[in-house]
Amino acid sequence: MKDFEEKLKDTMQETQMMSQEARQAFDLAYQKIAQEQKRVQHKKKKFIPFVVLAALVLLGLSLAFTPIGKAVTNFLHLGRFTSETLQKKGFVTQQSTKATNENIEIKLTEVYAGQNEIGLHFLIQFPKHSKFTDETLDFYGIAFALKNGDGRYLVDLKSGLSENHENLNLFASITPDFHFDRSTNQLELTYRLQASNDEVPPLENAVIEINRVTAMYPIDDTPGYHEGKEGETFEQLKGFWELPIDTSKIKSFDALDFVPTDPVWSQTVSGVVYPNSFVLTTSDKTFNELIDPDDIWLQAVINDQETRYLPRVLSTDEKDGEMYYQIVFDYSGYDQAELIMVHYGETEVEFKRQ
């Protein structure tokens, strides 16, 4: 076990490109996590188990901590953002494009686009007797690509539509979520595309291209066990749905810099607040010893109420021989708090807005 931990630490200090094999392993790990969380619904939300977390790190991936398949009210709805600035000025834009193919209608209902993240919200309507209405199915998703108006593909999630185009490494993590309303056969899907840096280009006349709808049967590691039909592990339907984004509605919101109140930390930690998150960057060696994300959280006082926010993505990078750790928190307050406290391990650092 000690040798494994040492290997894990060494591997966390490497930055690797995400291969197709790694992406497939990442998807499978997510499916298993989702299935396990479906089985144990009375427990509070948990992070990725250590074994899976270690496996993902060894693959050189950024780690998306947000569990999937649990949304009832979608996180892209305006209520997710507590900042009045974001609510009143329309950070999340309403969209109304739709396409129908293979008797399945897909609508793009909401989009937000910031400097470091893009959020997409879809509604998919299945016909009454569709194979996707099978009650044993879980982990719904789509294969899609996002193409900007200049023809550049920004992301390709298992669609293959960007083949022969540039290598796609803009987004460090993709966090899906879904809710299936079986009374209406309507599937609600969201995707958060998180960039490793604030390098997301402005969307201009962008379009989403979808070529596959998928769903998984329950996953069980017991030898010989399987709940799928005729040995299948998932259902899929190939087609083509093209959904233009009305990018004229998208508004830009500045990132807000936060600095430590204690000058001792000024050389090792920094913070940036985006409309959708707080990003901590640190060279503190303590992170070389941290594995359990339960040791990491953010606290802020908003409207006289102290709220704790959890980490969503952990990644590493190396610059000029120095190792840096970046932690993305699901912080939705944007401009509401002047002071923010970040806790990791035995360390607490207070930040103030510049």
Residues 209 and 319 in one domain: no
**Parent domain of 128:** 64-249
Predicted pLDDT at 60? 39
Q: Please calculate the CA angle 258-259-260 and round it to the nearest 5 degrees.
A: 130
Residues 111 and 228 in one domain: yes
Predicted pLDDT at 10? 43
Predicted pLDDT at 63? 41
Point out the least confidently predicted range of 108-122, 161-175, 198-212: 161-175
Q: How confident is the model at residue 298 (pLDDT cuts 50, 70, 90)?
A: very high
Distance CA 330, CA 325 (A): 17
Of residues 354 and 17, more confidence is placed in 354
What is the CATH number for 316? 2.60.40
Predicted pLDDT at 141? 94
Q: Please calculate the CA angle 116-118-120 and round it to the nearest 5 degrees.
A: 165
**Percentage of residues of the chain with pLDDT beyond 90:** 37
Overall number of domains in the chain = 2
Predicted pLDDT at 42? 29
**Percentage of residues of the chain with pLDDT beyond 70:** 69
Residues 232 and 319 in one domain: no
Distance CA 101, CA 105 (A): 7
Determine the average pLDDT of the residues in 218-239: 68
CB-based contacts of 281, cutoff 8 Å, min separation 6: 269, 270, 271, 272, 324, 325, 326
Q: Please calculate the CA angle 208-211-212 and round it to the nearest 5 degrees.
A: 120
Predicted pLDDT at 126? 97
pLDDT digits (tens, 9 = 90+) for 72-131: 334 444 345 667 777 778 888 999 999 999 999 999 999 999 888 898 999 999 999 999
Residues 238 and 160 in one domain: yes
Predicted pLDDT at 82? 61
Whether 241 maps to a domain, the answer reads: yes
Cα of first residue to Cα of last residue in the chain, in angstroms, is: 44
Whether residue 67 is predicted with pLDDT greater than 60 in this model: the reply is no
Residues 215 and 296 in one domain: no
Whether residue 30 is predicted with pLDDT greater than 50 in this model: the reply is no
pTM listed for this prediction = 0.71
Determine the average pLDDT of the residues in 314-333: 83
Question: Could you tell me which of 18, 53, 39, 28 has the C-alpha nearest to residue 173?
Answer: 18
Of residues 309 and 230, more confidence is placed in 309
Residues 193 and 270 in one domain: no
Residues 181 and 270 in one domain: no
Residues 232 and 84 in one domain: yes
Q: Which residues pair with 348 in a beta bridge?
A: 343
Residues 194 and 289 in one domain: no
Determine the average pLDDT of the residues in 45-74: 37
Whether residue 219 is predicted with pLDDT greater than 90 in this model: the reply is no
Residues 221 and 73 in one domain: yes
Predicted pLDDT at 232? 63
